[in-house]
Structure 1
Amino acid sequence: MCRHLGYLGPPITLDALLLAPEHSLLDQAKAPREQRASSLNADGFGVGWYDLDQRPEPARYRTSRPMWSDRSFASLAGIVSSTGVLAAVRSASPGFPIEETGNAPFTAGPWLFSLNGVVDGFHEGVGVALKRRLSDRRLGGIEGSADSEVLFALALDLLDAGTPAPDALASVVTTVKELSGGRLNLLLHAGTA
């Protein structure tokens, strides 16, 4: 399973939030505690952050490399600060490719999204059933093959229809439970409270 972090508060550098603290997201990637499925979160990572003085859409950095081996991110993390951040390190579930497009956070408009978990049976028909529920617009926006991205697209359809964010996420969880189940810990961020 992946690890993720959402932040909304006073401006903070990405380094101070993700790399420097004791038991940081970086530490959880290298030496996760209480993780049963694997010993590392080495299948990539991503970070999305907001600068609402510049634009409402978040910036995003993601890669299929492990967080601890990415010197470019470490270099920029000390100078980029934000009041809203969503970050994730990935341990890909069996059957899912290790690719940048599979790494959270996923983004569309002002939204950032991450899943810590897995949709049971996604490759055995559940993924197809979930995709059938999507609008053409949101289905066409899917870049990769991750279950996370399909769940985000389901949430986006609900948000597009005016559903409040908490209700949209609850509806996505209910939909997955009706079809198969899984372990779903969802984060959705818009940069503001």
Structure 2
Amino acid sequence: MCRLVGYLGRESIYLEHLVSKTTHSLTVQSYQPQEMTAGLLNADGFGIGWYAPAQPPFFYKNTLPIWNDINLLHLGRYIKSNCILANIRSATPGQSLDLANCQPFSHRDVIGVHNGYIEDFHRSLYRPLRSLLKDEYYQNISGNTDSEHILALFFQNLIHNSGSMVLALQETLAAVIDLCHKYSVNASLNLIVSDGKQLVASRCASRTPIPSLYWLRSVDSMLIASEPLFEHSDWISLAGNTILAIAPDFSPSFIDL
């Protein structure tokens, strides 16, 4: 399991507000998570993606635990954005500690992060999932994680099938769940995806318990996180098997899966 954060706001914020400044920041969640359904730590690397005007997304990744990256403390005080996605990784046993396996993953101007797993991925859905991918997306996979394969299918659905992030995520989740049923394996599929203008997230699994996912809306921003980053009574747990779509005006909509 991993921990995820997504931010979309009218105003840019510094990375440190998600990474290190809050009482239950990603750094704290890396060594003291409170709602993990599997694993104890998130010490197998991390990654951050962010947007700037008229630019493709930027990334910073490391295989170190996030608490050990001295450079991030300085970058966090310097880099700011109005759209940020971040992930701290707890690697599934058997998956290598490698930059190629660090999220976020991206295609063109769209980025995504995943918390969850496909049960016994390399012996269960590895080949069936890859068989759904067109050459362009198959060849762009450089790691060996279930997360990268799930997001590759999402990117393909977005470009070739729908053009809608919500519909593409629905199609992707449905395809993976169908494969899970066909091959009698379990999966949990919490994702956050963005094109820099909107956020779309899912809390989804083939069985309970479903990994946690929360959202917090203010007048001019939206936060989505695996665990609340700070004490606030307005954090809301996203219902299970639901997609949350955040429009550019920060209004939320909910789609049952």
Q: Place the TM-score, normalised by the shorter chain, in its bin.
A: over 0.9
1:133 is displaced (CA, Å) by 0.6
Matching residue of 1:67: 66
Unaligned runs of 5+ in 1: none
Shifted more, 98-107 versus 40-49: the winner is: 98-107
Residue 192 (structure 1) aligned with residue 193 (structure 2): no
What amino acid sits opposite 1:184 in the alignment?
Answer: L
Matching residue of 1:112: 111
Matching residue of 1:29: 30
Structure 1 runs (4+) deviating above 4 angstroms are none
**Is the 8 Å Cα contact of residues 117 and 146 (structure 2) preserved in structure 1?**
yes
Question: SS at the partner of 1:139?
Answer: helix
Identical counterparts, % of pairs:
35
What amino acid sits opposite 2:13 in the alignment?
Answer: I
What amino acid sits opposite 2:125 in the alignment?
Answer: V
C-alpha RMSD of the superposition: 1.1
What TM-score, normalized by structure 2, do the two folds share? 0.72
- Structure with greater strand percent: 2
Matching residue of 1:47: 48
Q: Distance in 2 between matches of 1:41 and 1:125?
A: 24
Instruction: Give deviations 1:27-74, integer Å, cap 9, x for gaps.
Output: 10111112242221000000000002x41x110011111000001111
**Is the 8 Å Cα contact of residues 95 and 123 (structure 1) preserved in structure 2?**
no
**Is the 8 Å Cα contact of residues 161 and 168 (structure 2) preserved in structure 1?**
no
Q: Distance in 1 between matches of 2:139 and 2:189?
A: 24
- Structure with greater helix percent: 1
Q: Distance in 2 between matches of 1:162 and 1:124?
A: 28
Matching residue of 1:6: 6
What TM-score, normalized by structure 1, do the two folds share? 0.95
Q: Distance in 2 between matches of 1:38 and 1:160?
A: 34
Matching residue of 2:146: 147
Q: Distance in 2 between matches of 1:168 and 1:177?
A: 14
Question: SS at the partner of 2:4?
Answer: strand
* Larger relative contact order (CA 8 Å, sep ≥ 6): 1
**Is the 8 Å Cα contact of residues 47 and 60 (structure 1) preserved in structure 2?**
yes
Aligned length: 191
**Is the 8 Å Cα contact of residues 121 and 127 (structure 1) preserved in structure 2?**
no
